[in-house]
Amino acid sequence: MAKLNDRLIRAAKHEDDDKFLSDGSGLYLRVRKSGGKYWLYRYKVGTRTRWFDLGMYPSLSLADARAEATRLTADRKQGIDPVAERERETMEREAAANAQAEALEAQNARITVSGLFKRWAEVDLIRRKDGGAEVRRMFEKDVLPTLGALPVEDVRKGHVTGVTDALLARGVPRMAKVIFSLMRQMFRFAVDRDIIEFEPTSAIRKAKIGGKDTERDRVLSEGEIKALARQLPTSAASASTQCAVWLALSTCCRIGELLGARWEHVDLNTGTWRIPAENSKNSKEHTVFLSAFALTQFEQLKATANAKLAEARKKSPDAQPCPWIYPNRQGDAPVCPKTVTKQLGDRQREGKAPMSRRVKVERASSLTLSGGRWTPHDLRRTGATMMVALGVIPEVAERCLNHTEENRVKRTYQRHSYENEMHEGWRLLGERLELLTRSGADNVVTLRGAA
């Protein structure tokens, strides 16, 4: 029969030693010297008496303590030892907690795509001419927002095509192919370093990303060059961009080489432009012999630079000349390599909406030519084609383009520099462009092979 009630429990006080008050059925209240009161369940295992802690009063009420004692008595009849059972449960909880902690630690240790990209950038991309800046820009815009938090080993081909499909939906298939190739490079880097065992893009055919590569063969006709000379001045393209068009055409340079050039590389007195190895696509230094036509473009750019310096010195007498031929707005670095390409593309949007806040509606097709869309790289191809039409042998035209000789034997044993022949090739090209771009050029007869 029950012996305790809440009034007796609240009144119970300790004496010299802890006091144990029985409620029957193995339930006891322990009153400690400190004043704390604890519920205990007393039972025997063989001849050994065991005490099982139930909880503190009043957090555990008298009614709940009795119910727990009744449950434990029933367990004892089933041969269950409460102390041993609690120890087992404690061990299971600890094992589960340890397993969860280990799993979490393993999860945290799994490198994510963002982590892989950072490592790849530090090892491989840093060796690129721009330190990987352009690749980093592309990944931060189109790859990492989608895949960045994903562990590398969990990436499947569906994740990769998810990125490229989004680019295809935006109507940029060329960019989709470029980013796919870059992702493939990054994942192969991970395979080489045992970060992953299988490369997720290996089962994807590149031709399926944006279609097959097509070799571009756009060459401007002489009629289009005449039209370009009429259209450029009214296109509202910047004066420096107009110079870039004629320089790309007359020197056969890559637009990135021009936009990254410094004034120290151009000698207006000798008429030469040195493209250092670090600015050249094939990492080979290249010297361009400037025709009178090309030299005029550089002189216009120099006059603009001098005028800007004079204005700057009115505000600050200590202002220094900008080293870049095509500086950014701050003047502390070259302009973005895509600047000229964007300006020209924005003015060839016939039948399409003009780019917002980049070009006015009436000028959205101001540089459209009869042969279709053209790019700065097409100007380079056009210049080389015109050279050959003017009688320059193809091998010399290839040297003017600074192409690497594909034939290893010729590359190794034929060491003739073709300097004089290249000089003549650029001169002939410049003279022809001078004829085509001057006022009244519609009377100039088009060369066979340059149409």
Average pLDDT of the chain to the nearest whole number: 87
pLDDT tens-digit series, residues 46-94: 889 999 999 999 999 999 999 999 999 998 898 888 888 888 988 999 8
At 249, the pLDDT band (50, 70, 90 cuts) reads very high
| pLDDT at residue 34, rounded to an integer | 77
Please say if the pLDDT value at position 391 is more than 90: yes
Kind and range of the H or E run holding 136 = helix 133-142
pLDDT tens-digit series, residues 398-413: 999 998 765 554 554 4
- Indicate the range of 12-21, 216-225, 376-385 predicted with least confidence: 12-21
Contacts by residues 191-195 (CB-CB < 8 Å, ≥ 24 positions apart): 195/111, 195/116, 195/152, 195/153
Please say if the pLDDT value at position 361 is more than 80: no
| pLDDT at residue 217, rounded to an integer | 81
Please say if the pLDDT value at position 105 is more than 80: no
- CATH topology assigned to domain 222-443: hpI Integrase; Chain A (1.10.443)
pLDDT tens-digit series, residues 170-186: 888 889 999 999 999 99
pLDDT tens-digit series, residues 266-282: 999 999 999 998 888 87
- CATH topology assigned to domain 6-80: Double Stranded RNA Binding Domain (3.30.160)
Pick the CATH number of 113-208 from 3.40.50.11540, 3.40.50.300, 1.10.150.130, 1.10.460.10: 1.10.150.130
Please say if the pLDDT value at position 331 is more than 50: yes
Domain boundaries, the chain: 6-80, 113-208, 222-443
The average pLDDT across 208-231 equals 82
Q: What is the 3-state secondary structure (H, E, C) of the chain?
A: CCCCCHHHHHHCCCCCCCEEEEEECCEEEEECCCCCEEEEEEEEECCEEEEEEEEEECCCCHHHHHHHHHHHHHHHHCCCCHHHHHHHHHHHHHHHHHHHHHHHHHHHHCCEHHHHHHHHHHHCHHHCCCCCHHHHHHHHHHCHHHHCCCEHHHCCHHHHHHHHHHHHHCCCHHHHHHHHHHHHHHHHHHHHCCCCCCCCCCCCCHHHCCCCCCCCCCCCCHHHHHHHHHHHHHCCCCHHHHHHHHHHHHHCCCHHHHHCCEHHHEECCCCEEEECHHHCCCCCCEEEECCHHHHHHHHHHHHHHHHHHHHHHHHCCCCCCCCECCECCCCCCECCCCHHHHHHHHCCCCCCCCCCCCCCHHHCCCCCCCCCCCCHHHHHHHHHHHHHHCCCCHHHHHHHCCCCCCCHHHHHHCCCCCHHHHHHHHHHHHHHHHHHHCCCHHHCCCCCCCC
At 203, the pLDDT band (50, 70, 90 cuts) reads confident
Please say if the pLDDT value at position 211 is more than 90: no
Please say if the pLDDT value at position 354 is more than 90: no
